[in-house]
A and B are shown apart, each in its own frame.
Chain A
Amino acid sequence: MDIGILLVYGILGLTVIVSAVGLIISRNALYSALFLVVNFVAVGLLYLALGAPFIAFAQVTVYAGSIMVLFIFVIMLLGAENLPLTEPLRGQRVLGILLVVIFLAEIVLYYLLRTTPLQSIPLIPQTFASPAEIGMLLFNRYLLPFEVTAFILLAATVGAILLSKHEGPTRPKPGIQKPETPVEG
């Protein structure tokens, strides 16, 4: 394979792994969020390389854009950048690393026990995952899941508004409140 292609894929993979590690080891949650943005953009480039431009740009706009804005907004709102790094249960860290290693070993074992070996990814035609193709499939075969997703988003929006209202649903309206109940600012 061409050395330039190998170099590009190597740098992309390294960026993904390093930013993921930086996400979980950085003490400041804000740095974690920025590492996650780097990770999302690198994975979006991998989607482009896999011939899925629509998914790649949706990844960058939805994940690296709006979801990360939400994260950073909440981090700054709560002032949760630097929580103390305490470890209340003895050996919890060791146990966690051990479980993850077991999990990785299971994945590797499953990969090795496959009966058919995996080949390289074949050359992807130009119009394979174009927005037109994705739209046709989305609004024909996947129309019902699309509508269900819309309801999930609506329920999430209503739930988020309800959860983050200050007083909850029992808050009296300003016009009809009784004089003896003090109004909190």
Chain B
Amino acid sequence: MQPLNKDQWQIAASIGGPIIKKDSRIEPIPLSSVSVAYGASQNLTTFAGIHPGAIVYGVYHMDAGFSHEILAPFDRRPGITYSIDFNAFMDRQESQLKLYPQLDINAYWLMPYRNDFFYLGLSNWFELATKKAHERNQETHWIPSLHTGYTLQYDKYGFTLEMKYLAPLTNNQNLLVDYYSPSKNGSLGVYLSMSRKF
């Protein structure tokens, strides 16, 4: 969310995912990622990541992109950033490659007298394929999500708790997985991450 300073590096690890109902309990799917970010300028941060949780199950998931601050925070005015991220998936079994671009727009507010910040935003995941299994038309090409989070930012270390409302426009009934959601659409998701700046 908040851009790095120029020439600053950051590594981060996160875990979390959509919340599902399973055997009368709810739990987040434990997706995970490890990423590295670099401050290319005062308002442009580049980043790349791998997703070890997927690798365990035979799928390589990597992503890379950049985040650009278009409005710096001032007083009560939030900082505004957008990020463009490219996600690549390939499975070990059949080597099928898929690419999903992602566009996020975020607003973040710095907390008074602290380095912490609160943020909320809109994430947009794009499906480029026009066909899916059995030559059926792929009708969904835009999957938006809403997210909000809070980062406890210390000198070098940061800890973030983030909640997402994934695919809030899409019906979640009659699916292979029983998503946990406040409505019959989408799924809530919860994510924890830790970062260190250098």
Specify whether A and B are partners. no
* A contacts, CB < 8 Å to B: none
